[in-house]
Structure 1
């Protein structure tokens, strides 16, 4: 039978180390002279053949393979077995040798600005640089691939065989630009080396202000409110406090968080009412490490709570209101809730009043059993005060009248469909309120309409059905409806046409 190539090394997709021989294994003993004569490799490589056994050819390059090179190997059908039988088909394949070690990604990326001072530097390679058995070892036993200019004290670790992470001991210096270099010659586990230095730069973030309290433009600020400033990194307290100003000026004291990122200014006393303040942090505020300062002055404003007063009520004074409403009182500022109800009088006096204070919009809600068609008078006394003891200073009266309850009239039956005896005096009851007359009409339904009005699509049919045009009118009549204002009464309705009387 024709000989076949069973196996080759390097295998398909495998990168060949520079010192590894090329091996071809056949399915039967081969004629060495014909095989070596039929062997071709491109680019040309000087080397020597050997036969460990009659079915295995080994080609050893004299000076090793070229790095990062793809070779093509051909073996023509002139290669024969020891019995003189040629290859069934020509052998043709390629293989690549190990390439150069490359940096695939760095974090921060080249040219990045505003890198956090305590951020880590990560380097990712295209090949394993350290064996897996070394990943768990301490940093001094591992190859340190990273250099910084200016120098940085810190520690690095290989988080896996191809990713290196460096963390500074005390952080990078804010505002400074660093040049990081991975020197040429760093080797991977396959023998590939970094062909040239890999160098990039990044800039550390200068200090910035992340948050202030009160926020810019905030109003209704309490008179006891401390002013806090949150920075993006630790700050130098002396220069930062010197860069702080508040206008109008206020005496107070400073305090700092343990990590020196939050500065608090606490006024010595209450802030004045209804005052607009401007706060400034100048550019001279310096980071705790290095000489970096704020890139620009930071300014914001806030306003303290105004004097307490009533802005409006709902319902308003001298208006007509629904009987199902609550009285809502809107104040200009937060109030001392304990001072509100003792200075509120409602006439006529209700049995029970329920209150709710909504701090979101400084609103007091009063609910009681409000009656229809009633004149109410609510006295709001001057003694209502804010949390600082400031009172309204004057009384206020809100008068409103509730309107009557809505008119209503309906048949007091258990549902849309009922069964009644046509051979007796059939009577039903009608409930009415705030109406003087009720008009009624009685119609005859045919079976088709009755089935549609009681069938599976009855709800849609009830909406569309008009008895005046779709049913036979039997009789229509009107009834007088007498009852006191806002009170409900029943009428007994005789469907046979006899007189109807109050129930």
Structure 2
């Protein structure tokens, strides 16, 4: 490890090599090289072998460089097995370290319309970030009520900014420079994006007790049924008779399926 052609490798990554048989330590360490691609620059470090000499861990002496291609390997006939009875063929494997810190996308995206007015916004980063450097650099216009809250997900390098959104509003999000990755490298440029929220989803419910049953007095001059609604212009109500089996099934919180035969 890292695997061949792996990208986004941490700057503190050690190199692990495993062989199918015990190796000659001196020849392997002399032949092994961790180099920056297309340069003669070789990374210094230390070796730590397992007890049966079938593998080692190479730890670089310094942190690797950002967004840099490295190669691991040795030339043919330069590394030998234990007893120096046979030489290894040439080996080369490449990997690329994590990129410079940057915001690669947002949700909602800039210019989005009819965004559901719930939750907040999300920032997607190129690499793992220091969450302590993010929230204080976020400005939201119009300013939401209360304090912002945030959460960083290492799974997809996403930072969720949580706040109560307002329906049918034009939002502008400004990200100031200074957000840092886990290595202390800062994003140096400002980012601004905007979007428009849509109306809240329609909602309608009857103000009746649990289990969906209310009791009303037919002898009253006016029978009233109260509802809670949002973004609903008209409610059409219909009266139906209900057989006892259906009624008691509903009363007991059971599902009832009438005989369809």
Q: Deviations over 1:126-172 (max 9, x none)?
A: xxxxxxxxxxxxxxxxxxxxxxxxxxxxxxxxxxxxxxxxxxxxxxx
Matching of residues 257-276 of structure 1 within 5 Å = 257=49, 259=51, 260-276=53-69
How far residue 322 of structure 1 moved from its aligned partner, in angstroms, is: 1.2
| 1:289 counterpart (67, 83, 89) | 83
CA contact (8 A) 2:9 2:98 kept: yes
CA contact (8 A) 1:217 1:300 kept: yes
CA contact (8 A) 1:287 1:293 kept: yes
- 1:358 corresponds in structure 2 to 153
| 2:204 counterpart (403, 409, 417) | 409
User: Where do 5+ consecutive residues of structure 2 fail to align?
Assistant: none
2:178 matches 1:383? yes
CA contact (8 A) 1:274 1:304 kept: yes
- 1:277 corresponds in structure 2 to 70
Higher RCO, 1 vs 2 (CA within 8 Å, ≥6 residues apart): 2
**Partner Cα separation in structure 2 for residue 219 and residue 350 of structure 1:** 41
- 2:128 corresponds in structure 1 to 334
CA contact (8 A) 1:254 1:263 kept: no
How far residue 460 of structure 1 moved from its aligned partner, in angstroms, is: 4.7
- 1:215 corresponds in structure 2 to 3
**Partner Cα separation in structure 2 for residue 418 and residue 386 of structure 1:** 57
User: Where do 5+ consecutive residues of structure 1 fail to align?
Assistant: 1-212, 465-503
| 2:167 counterpart (356, 372, 376) | 372
Change (3 A) 1:431 1:337: closer
Q: Deviations over 1:439-472 (max 9, x none)?
A: 23334x2xxx42242255973548x9xxxxxxxx
Which structure has the bigger radius of gyration?
Answer: 1
Q: Deviations over 1:202-243 (max 9, x none)?
A: xxxxxxxxxxx2222221112232322133343222211232
- 1:472 corresponds in structure 2 to none
| 2:244 counterpart (439, 451, 458) | 451
**Partner Cα separation in structure 1 for residue 132 and residue 216 of structure 2:** 62
**Partner Cα separation in structure 2 for residue 398 and residue 459 of structure 1:** 49
Q: Deviations over 1:11-57 (max 9, x none)?
A: xxxxxxxxxxxxxxxxxxxxxxxxxxxxxxxxxxxxxxxxxxxxxxx
TM-score (norm 2): 0.81
How far residue 421 of structure 1 moved from its aligned partner, in angstroms, is: 2.4
**Partner Cα separation in structure 1 for residue 182 and residue 218 of structure 2:** 74
Q: Deviations over 1:180-199 (max 9, x none)?
A: xxxxxxxxxxxxxxxxxxxx
- 2:219 corresponds in structure 1 to 423
- 2:45 corresponds in structure 1 to 253
**Partner Cα separation in structure 1 for residue 204 and residue 45 of structure 2:** 72
**Partner Cα separation in structure 2 for residue 306 and residue 416 of structure 1:** 56
Matching of residues 301-340 of structure 1 within 5 Å = 301-319=94-112, 320-340=114-134
How far residue 293 of structure 1 moved from its aligned partner, in angstroms, is: 3.3
How far residue 422 of structure 1 moved from its aligned partner, in angstroms, is: 2.0
- 2:192 corresponds in structure 1 to 397
Aligned length: 246
1:342 partner SS: helix
TM-score (norm 1): 0.45
Change (3 A) 1:350 1:231: farther
- 1:181 corresponds in structure 2 to none
How far residue 254 of structure 1 moved from its aligned partner, in angstroms, is: 3.1
